[in-house]
């Protein structure tokens, strides 16, 4: 009786995903499925599982689990984007997958360098030029990082192909909303839900910007070389903290007092989501259902 009382049921899965070229990737605890609308209008799938009992135990630790999520998200994102690109290119251009994946890795490395290092260097230069105190320079660095993020999301959102990716992003969120609300996964049921979701990767980036101001303020003034190194070394810490904050804020979003904490993240997603059409929602539902079918039950521990 005592054991029955102390054993708690496992928490419900926190599903997530990503928009890709003409498609959606959905990720569960043990499986990932990417559904892509092919040029012939059919839906193609890439499905795989990644269960690992030892990894699951480690990935439950607070702060550490955020690093696992970040690494897995990048790996799954590369695979899903490469698959979607190959579907759009057609079988005669299957060889584009490897160079495309390499180019995406390079893009992420360059993007992280610009996102963390460029604002740090610029703020350091302004500090020295104007004689600003270190705390003001740290705030300036965070604001530069925020402007860089907003400007990038706004600029690429003006590209027609990216606007379609943003619409699939909205379809992904709507599908997860419908599942979490217990609604049938049918286009008519999914369509009314909002395009924004509190666990979105866009919210993750905004949270990292805010947390970076706090963390780098605690570190204090540093010479330029150490300052740049600290920004790179702080990436895993910021990722872990941001994941825990996103997870916590998503769990309390239904309380009235918590809404101000969630609103900035939801507002930022207006730059990265668009209202999808019915065919896009159909693809998102197909990806979600394929992922659920591929999932294996987790053992009780």
Residue 66's pLDDT band (cuts 50, 70, 90): low
Residue 263's pLDDT band (cuts 50, 70, 90): confident
Q: Show the tokens assigned to 273.
A: 């989501």
Backbone angles phi, psi at 223, to 5 degrees: -60, 160
pLDDT average, residue stretch 22-46: 92
Give the span between the Cα atoms of 162 and 164, in whole angstroms.
5
Q: Which of 115-124, 169-178, 211-220 tops mean pLDDT?
A: 169-178
At residue 71, the pLDDT reads 74
Give the span between the Cα atoms of 274 and 269, in whole angstroms.
9
> CB count, 10 Å around CB of 62?
11
**Residue 63: DSSP 8-state:** T
- Domain assignments of the chain as residue spans, ordered by start: 16-294
Give the span between the Cα atoms of 206 and 229, in whole angstroms.
21
At residue 54, the pLDDT reads 44
Residue 107's pLDDT band (cuts 50, 70, 90): low
List pLDDT tens digits, range 146-200.
Answer: 888 888 888 888 888 889 999 999 999 999 999 999 999 999 999 999 999 888 8
């Amino acid at each position: 009786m005592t054991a029955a009382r102390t054993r708690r049921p496992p928490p419900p899965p926190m599903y997530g995903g990503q928009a890709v070229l003409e498609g959606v990737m959905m990720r569960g605890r043990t499986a990932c499925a990417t559904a892509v609308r092919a040029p012939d209008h059919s839906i193609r799938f890439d499905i795989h599982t990644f269960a690992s009992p030892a990894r699951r135990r480690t990935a439950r630790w607070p702060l550490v689990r955020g690093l696992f999520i970040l690494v897995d998200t990048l790996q799954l994102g590369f695979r899903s984007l490469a698959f979607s690109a190959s579907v759009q290119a057609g079988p005669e251009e299957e060889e584009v997958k490897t160079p495309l994946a390499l180019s995406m890795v390079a893009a992420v490395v360059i993007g992280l360098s610009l996102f963390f290092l460029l604002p740090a260097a610029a703020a350091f230069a302004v500090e020295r030029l104007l004689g600003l105190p270190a705390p003001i320079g740290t705030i300036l660095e965070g604001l530069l990082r925020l402007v860089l993020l907003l400007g990038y999301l706004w600029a690429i959102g003006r590209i027609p192909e990216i606007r379609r990716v943003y619409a699939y992003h909205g379809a992904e969120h709507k599908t997860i909303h419908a599942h979490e609300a217990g609604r049938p996964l049918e286009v008519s049921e999914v369509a009314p839900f909002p395009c924004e979701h509190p666990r979105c990767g866009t919210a993750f980036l905004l949270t990292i910007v805010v947390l970076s101001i706090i963390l780098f303020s605690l570190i204090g003034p540093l010479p330029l070389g150490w300052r740049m190194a600290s920004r790179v070394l702080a990436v895993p810490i910021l990722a872990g903290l941001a994941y825990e904050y996103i997870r916590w804020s998503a769990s309390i979003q239904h309380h009235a007092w918590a809404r101000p904490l969630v609103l900035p993240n939801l507002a930022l997603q207006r730059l990265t989501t668009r209202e999808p059409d019915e065919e896009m929602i159909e693809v998102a539902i197909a990806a979600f259902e394929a992922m659920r079918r591929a999932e294996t039950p987790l053992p009780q521990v």
